[in-house]
A and B are shown apart, each in its own frame.
Chain A
Amino acid sequence: MMIKIPICPECKKELPLNSTRCHHCSKSVSAVKFRSVFSWNWADRAFLLFSVLIFVSFFMPWFPGKFLSRENPLSPLNLLLHLVDLDVEFLVSYDVLRMVLIVPLFSFLLFLMVYLGDGLKTTPFPGIFLIVCILVSVFTFIFQTLGGVFQWGAAFLFSGGFLYYLQQCYKKGTLGRISSYLLFIFILASIFLYLFDLSIKFYARLDLIILGETWGFFMAWTVSCLLVLLAVLYHMRSIEDFWMVIFALGFSVIAYSTLVHPFFVSGPLKFFADNLHETFVQLAAHIRIVGIALIIAIATGVPVGIYITRHPGAAGIVLYISSILITIPSIAMFGFMMPILSTIDNAWDGVSGIGIGVVPAVVALSLYSLLPIVRNTYIALKSVDPATIEAGKGMGMTNFQLLIQLQLPLSAPIIMAGVRTAVVMGIAIAAIAAYIGAGGLGLFVSEGLQMSTNNSVIAGAIAMSLLAIVADIFLAKAEDWITPTGLKIKQATE
C-alpha cells in the first residue's frame, strides 16, 4: 500500500523515475530523495471511507447506543465519573464532552503524523496545527470550566485557526482548494439551516429533541462530509493528502461545536436574526454619529494642523489642549456636554433640545477625534523634506501652491492614518453615547446590561467591532488610494 516516489531535493517536487534533471527547477539531480505515498486501490479507499464514517458517527445522534449520552451507562463519561467519583456539572454539556474528547484525539493524531510521518516534515502546517490544536484543547478546557465569556475566547481562537486552515488548504493546490471550498460550503450550510430552519434546538441536547427536527442539519453535514471525502479520496496521492481529509472532517466537527453553535444557534447572531431591523437602524445611527463627528473633526483638525505648522508657538498649546481633551473619560465628556449645550439651547430658543441626544454625542466625538487628526497633520507637514519645500519656494511657489501641490499630497497618507485612528476610536466611544440618548449600537449594550441579556451585550459589541474593522479596512484602502504613486515606490538602491 505504501510506495516511494522520487522527489527533487531542491524544490521537493515529484520527479519521473530515473531522471537526472528536475524539470521544475531545472537543476541537475544528484541525490534523489523519496516521499512515501499511499498507493490506493479501491479496497483501501472503501476501508478509509468506512473508518472515517465510523469516526464521524461518534458525534452523530444515531450512533448505536448513544455513545456519549449520559443515559448510556457504558458511555465514557459515565465510566469516567464512576472512576473518579465526581459529579461535575459542567461536564454534562455535550460541547464540553466533545472538546474534551475530540481535541486531544486530534492532537494525538497530529503528533503521530508529524513525528512518524516520513515525508511530512517538508510542510510546516501540520506542525503549526499540532500547536494550535494542543493550545485549543488546553484553552477550551480552561474556558469551559471558567464559564461563558471565556467560551467566546475559545470560539474566536477557533475561528482564527479555522480560517488559517482554510487558507492553508487553499494554497495546497487543487485538492486543498476543493476541500476548503467544501468545508466552507458546509459551514455556510450549517449556518443557514440553523438560522432559518432549526433556530433553537441544538443537537447536543439530543435527549430533549426529536430527530426529525434536525434532519436538515444532519443531512447537510453528512452530505458535505461525503463530498469532501469522495473528492479527497479521488485526488489523494500522498500521506499529506490523507491527513488533510482527517483535518477537514475533524475541523468541521470542532468548528461546528465551537463556532456554529455558540455563534449562530443560541448566541448573538440569533439575536441579530431576531432583531434584524433594529440592528440596521442602530447601525445607521451609529455610523451617522461617527460620520458627522469625523467630518467636523477633519474640517477643523486639518486646517488647525496646517496653522500650527506655520506658527510653532501655537503648536505646543494646541497639541497640549487636544491631548488633555482625549484623556477626559467619555462618560464625563458627555456629562459636560449636556449642561453646556442645554445652556446654549436655552439662550437660543429653548425648544430644540440639543442638550441631549445626537448633538452632544457628535460634539464630544469631534473633540476626541481632533487629537489624532491635528497631531498627524502637524507631524506629516513637519516631516516633509525641507529641501523640497525650499526648492519650491525658491522657484517662486506661493505658500498656498506649496501646500496644495507638495505638502498636502505628501502628508495625505499620514493624515489619513490619523483619520483611521479617529474613526476606530470614535466607533468605540460612540457606544457610550447610547447613555445620553444618541442611539447607535451602544444601545444593545446598555439595554443588555440593564436587562442582563448577555446576547444583546455581546451582539452590540460584535457589531461595533465589525463596524470598526470594516471601517478600518475601508480607510486603509482609501489611504492607499490617496498616497501619491511616487511615494509608494521603494527607494532605488544606490
Chain B
Amino acid sequence: MGTMLSLQKVTKIYPGAGHIKAVDELSFDLEEGEICTLVGPSGCGKTTAMKMINRLISITSGKIIIDGKDISRLNTIELRRSIGYVIQNIGLFPNMTIGENIAIIPKLLKWDRAKIDEKVQRLLEIVNLDPDEYKDRYPKELSGGQQQRIGVARGMAGDPPIMLMDEPFGAIDPINREHLQNEFLKIQEKVKKTIVFVTHDIDEAIKMGDKICLLRDGHLVQFASPEEMLTHPKNDFVADFAGGDRTLKRLNLFTVKRAMKDNPPIINQDETIETARNLFSEINTRYLIAVNSEGRLTGMIDKQDIPGKALLVKDAVAPTNAWLTSQSSLKDGLSEIFSHDYGFLIVVDDAKKVLGWLHTEDIKETLKG
C-alpha cells in the first residue's frame, strides 16, 4: 500500500473577490484504501479543495499527485472518469430515470448491458432502495434524501479507485444516515477505495474517517487520525471544533471487544443450584451469567433472588437484555451499562456466545490508552 493521493502545497485563489486564498498551501498524503474526511466550518474551502482533485477547479499553485502521476498531466476526462464524484447538491439528471442516472459512468466506460444492469441493481440495494420500485422512476419522484442516496450510488457506479464525496449524507434523516454510513463502511472494508469525504459534521468525520483533515479559512489546521485529534487537539480551535465532549466522542472509536475483560462469571445452566451458591461465595459476586452447553447466553442469576424450590441453575435463570455484540461501539456499551442495574454488560459474539464482560472501569482504562 503506497500513497494514493497526495496534495502538495495546493493553493486556490479565486479571481476577483479580493484575492482571498480559498485554499492555502494545503498538503496531505492519503494511503490507498483510506478515507480522509475534510471538515471545517462553512466556507473554509472543503469543496474547493475537493474539486481541485478532479480538476473541476483549477489549481492556482501546488501539485496534486494521484498514484504517482501529476494530475495536471493527465487527460481531464479520463481522470474524472476514474474518480467517483458525489456532489453537495446531488445534481441528478432530471431527464433520466434513476437506473439511467446510475448507469451514466458505466455507459461512458462502455461496459456491457448485462454488467451495467447488475451493477445498478446492486447499488440500489446497497443504498436501501428497492430496485424494482425505484429503477424506472424519475428523480423528481424521489424525496431529497432518496435522491442523495442515488447520488452516492451513481458516484460508486464506475468502481473508481478514488472517490470524492461532498456531504453525501447531508440531506438524509439520522436513521437512514446511520444505516448508509454503516453500509458504506462495510463496503469500504471490502473494496478499500481511497476516499475524500467532505462533511461539516465532526461526528460523521470521526466515524467515517481514517484521517481527519480539519480546515479553517483555507488553512490546514490539523491532519490526524480521529483518535489523535480527539486526544491531542493541536490547538484551541481543534479542541473547540471537536467539542467539549470529545472524550465521549472517542467512545465511538473503540469497540466493546477492545475494552472488555474476558473473565466473566459464567455458569452452565445445567449445573445444580449448589454449584451456583458455591460459585457466588467463591468469587464474591451478586450475579452469574448463565450459558447453555454451547456457551450461548441464556440469562442471569441473581444471588438474592433464587426461588426456594429450584434444583438446577436453569430454574433460577432470569432472561436478560444487558448484552451487546463485540463490534458495538463503546458509546453504545456505556449507554447499555447505565440502562441496567447490574453494573456491567455481557459481551457476546454474533452467535450469542459469551466472550466477556464490560464495566465502566474498563472503559475508563481504554480511554486512558
Given known pairs A387-B89, A395-B104, A396-B108, the reply for A484 and B80 (CB within 8 Å) is no
B319 interfacial by beta-carbon distance below 8 Å: no
What is the interface residue range for chain A against chain B?
20 to 34
B6 interfacial by beta-carbon distance below 8 Å: no
B251 interfacial by beta-carbon distance below 8 Å: no
B265 interfacial by beta-carbon distance below 8 Å: no
Contact call B108/A487, Cβ cutoff below 8 A: no
Residues in B neighbouring A390, C-beta threshold 8 A: 56, 87, 91
Stretch at the interface among A349-357, A404-412, A424-432: A404-412
Complex alpha-carbon distance, A405 and B140, angstroms: 18
A119 interfacial by beta-carbon distance below 8 Å: no
Contact partner of B91 among A387, A398, A409, CB < 8 A?
Answer: A387
Contact call B92/A391, Cβ cutoff below 8 A: yes
Contact call B89/A492, Cβ cutoff below 8 A: no
Residues from 26 to 59 in A contacting B, C-beta threshold 8 Å: none
Residues in A neighbouring B194, C-beta threshold 8 A: none
Residues from 394 to 420 in A contacting B, C-beta threshold 8 Å: 394-398, 401, 405-406, 409-410
Given known pairs A410-B94, A486-B94, A487-B95, the reply for A492 and B140 (CB within 8 Å) is yes
Complex alpha-carbon distance, A410 and B91, angstroms: 13
* B76 (CB) vs chain A CBs: closest residue: A396
Contact call B105/A395, Cβ cutoff below 8 A: yes
Given known pairs A393-B80, A396-B80, A489-B141, the reply for A409 and B95 (CB within 8 Å) is yes
Contact call B81/A395, Cβ cutoff below 8 A: yes
Complex alpha-carbon distance, A405 and B100, angstroms: 11
What is the distance, in angstroms, from A485's C-beta to the closest C-beta of chain B? 7
Residues from 478 to 494 in A contacting B, C-beta threshold 8 Å: 484-487, 489-492, 494
B351 interfacial by beta-carbon distance below 8 Å: no
Mark interface residues in A224-250 (1 if CB within 8 Å of B CB, else 0).
000000000000000000000000000
Contact call A394/B140, Cβ cutoff below 8 A: no
Residues from 320 to 363 in B contacting A, C-beta threshold 8 Å: none
Given known pairs A395-B85, A486-B140, the reply for A385 and B91 (CB within 8 Å) is yes
* A490 (CB) vs chain B CBs: closest residue: B140
Contact call B56/A486, Cβ cutoff below 8 A: no
What is the distance, in angstroms, from A373's C-beta to the closest C-beta of chain B? 21
Mark interface residues in B62-89 (1 if CB within 8 Å of A CB, else 0).
0000000000000001111111010101
* A398 (CB) vs chain B CBs: closest residue: B77
Given known pairs A393-B80, A396-B77, A398-B77, the reply for A388 and B144 (CB within 8 Å) is no
Contact partner of A492 among B54, B104, B143, CB < 8 A?
Answer: B143
Contact call B139/A486, Cβ cutoff below 8 A: yes
Contact partner of A387 among B77, B90, B104, B142, CB < 8 A?
Answer: B90
B176 interfacial by beta-carbon distance below 8 Å: no
Residues in B neighbouring A388, C-beta threshold 8 A: 91-94
What is the distance, in angstroms, from B335's C-beta to the closest C-beta of chain A? 33
* A399 (CB) vs chain B CBs: closest residue: B77
Complex alpha-carbon distance, A397 and B81, angstroms: 8
What is the distance, in angstroms, from A209's C-beta to the closest C-beta of chain B? 65
Complex alpha-carbon distance, A387 and B167, angstroms: 14
B138 interfacial by beta-carbon distance below 8 Å: yes
Contact call B81/A396, Cβ cutoff below 8 A: yes
Complex alpha-carbon distance, A492 and B108, angstroms: 30
Residue from B51, B94, B154 whose CB has the most chain A CB atoms within 10 Å: B94
A291 interfacial by beta-carbon distance below 8 Å: no
Complex alpha-carbon distance, A97 and B97, angstroms: 65
Residues in B neighbouring A395, C-beta threshold 8 A: 80-81, 85, 104-105, 108, 154-155, 158
Mark interface residues in A374-400 (1 if CB within 8 Å of B CB, else 0).
000000000001011111111111100
B96 interfacial by beta-carbon distance below 8 Å: yes
Complex alpha-carbon distance, A393 and B105, angstroms: 11
Complex alpha-carbon distance, A487 and B94, angstroms: 6
Residues in B neighbouring A385, C-beta threshold 8 A: 91, 94
Complex alpha-carbon distance, A455 and B87, angstroms: 65
* A483 (CB) vs chain B CBs: closest residue: B95
Complex alpha-carbon distance, A494 and B96, angstroms: 20
Residues in B neighbouring A387, C-beta threshold 8 A: 87, 89-91
What is the distance, in angstroms, from B102's C-beta to the closest C-beta of chain A? 11
Complex alpha-carbon distance, A209 and B226, angstroms: 106
What is the distance, in angstroms, from B119's C-beta to the closest C-beta of chain A? 15
Contact partner of B108 among A401, A485, A489, CB < 8 A?
Answer: A401
* B144 (CB) vs chain A CBs: closest residue: A494
Residues in B neighbouring A409, C-beta threshold 8 A: 95
Complex alpha-carbon distance, A388 and B95, angstroms: 11
Residues from 105 to 134 in B contacting A, C-beta threshold 8 Å: 105, 108
Contact call A486/B91, Cβ cutoff below 8 A: no
Complex alpha-carbon distance, A319 and B94, angstroms: 28
Mark interface residues in A258-277 (1 if CB within 8 Å of B CB, else 0).
00000000000000000000
Contact call A406/B93, Cβ cutoff below 8 A: yes
Given known pairs A387-B87, A489-B140, A494-B144, the reply for A396 and B78 (CB within 8 Å) is yes
Complex alpha-carbon distance, A237 and B3, angstroms: 89
Contact partner of A486 among B81, B82, B105, B138, CB < 8 A?
Answer: B138
Complex alpha-carbon distance, A490 and B94, angstroms: 12
Residues from 177 to 229 in B contacting A, C-beta threshold 8 Å: none
What is the distance, in angstroms, from B158's C-beta to the closest C-beta of chain A? 8
Contact partner of A405 among B90, B93, B143, CB < 8 A?
Answer: B93
Residues in A neighbouring B56, C-beta threshold 8 A: 390, 393-394
A-to-B contact residues, CB < 8 Å: 385, 387-398, 401, 405-406, 409-410, 484-487, 489-492, 494
8 nearest interchain CB pairs? Answer: A391-B91, A396-B80, A396-B81, A484-B95, A486-B138, A394-B85, A387-B91, A387-B89
List 12 additional contacts besides A390-B87, A390-B91; criterion CB under 8 Å. A387-B87, A389-B91, A394-B80, A394-B83, A395-B81, A395-B104, A396-B82, A405-B96, A485-B95, A486-B93, A490-B140, A492-B143
Q: List 27 A-B contacts (CB under 8 A).
A: A388-B92, A390-B56, A391-B85, A391-B87, A391-B151, A392-B91, A393-B56, A394-B85, A395-B81, A395-B104, A395-B105, A395-B154, A395-B155, A395-B158, A396-B81, A396-B82, A397-B77, A401-B108, A405-B96, A484-B96, A486-B94, A487-B94, A487-B95, A489-B138, A489-B141, A492-B142, A492-B143
